[in-house]
Every structure is written in structure tokens, then in C-alpha cells.
A and B are shown apart, each in its own frame.
Chain A
């Protein structure tokens, strides 16, 4: 399926140590109908940790949006919100 929402989970060491390791479970955490609409990839350092305005690690990029202090719950909420905005999913 084309046009899946891109989700990049930072696997850089800083993000990983600061709680990002847990985000590796994102795919199995998401309900199946949402998991089917996203393309989850591990990404090398998103370079957010070197910016002062990006907030705190761990970082995940959902579409063009950077999620700081990312948790499974928080990322799932952003994914749902963006899918809804694009009209690709309704609760």
C-alpha cells in the first residue's frame, strides 16, 4: 500500500539510553488497523539531540513532525491525530 505515514524511530545511542529503546516495540503496540497505515523504520540519529529547540530525547519523527520525550503512548496519539487529519483513519 502506497502513501503510508512514515514513522522514524531514532535508534541513536542518546535516544536509546534515554528511554528510546522501549519504542522498538511500537509496531506491536499499535492496534492492527493503525499499524497497517504506517511505515515504521529505525532511523540513525535524527540530529535532534544537538538542537536546543527540539526538546528532550527520545525523538521520533512522524511524517514531518518531531515528537520529543517520545513514549509509546505519545507516539501512538500523534500517529492517530495525523492519520485523522489526512482523512486516512477515523476512530
Chain B
């Protein structure tokens, strides 16, 4: 395959992808989507949140799980970084601490796919990480 060097090269890939997949209508069913927020403030980044977020993006896409992965700020649990907030459709947000790759894998398999809680939840009576 030729090296991708320009937007034109990237467009070729885009067109190939488009012909291969049927567009999933994420935006039409936001209530079906799993929301994942990775704590990516200074503390999170220093603890390797970049790898964690990368893993979630790749793995969920691979397994065709409808999910939106975004970064968010810090909520004061710096000791437990990387932290990840997961909101399953119709459920309240749950925050997990010390989420490295293997923890992320466990979370996807057990919590996201089967709805069972796993160890490592930070128990707080908060609403969401934002602000």
C-alpha cells in the first residue's frame, strides 16, 4: 500500500471504508450509546491515560459496540488515575480507578458487555465529571 501523505490519500481510505461499511446511525440513537469519559488532565496523562483512551477507542470499534469515547478533566481522584467514567444506556455514571489496559479489557468484557460491576469503582455521590 502506498504511504499516506496527503488529505487526498486519506480520502481514498475514507471512500474505501464507506463502500465497506453501512453507516451506523450513532447520532440517531444516543440513548443506545455507551458513553466513556477518560480523565485526561495533567494527573491522568502522567499516569498513562493516553494509552487507556486509545485502547477503548480501538477495542470498542473492533467489537462494534456503539460508544462515544471522549476525554474529560480531573475530578480530584488523582491518586487513582487513570480514571474512567462509564455511562451505560439508561444507567447512572460509574467511575473506575486505576484503569490500565488490562483493567480496561475487564471493564469492556464484564461491565459494558454483561452489565456486571467489577472491582475498582470509586464510590461517590457525584453526577458527572464535567466541572
Asked whether A and B interact, the reply is no
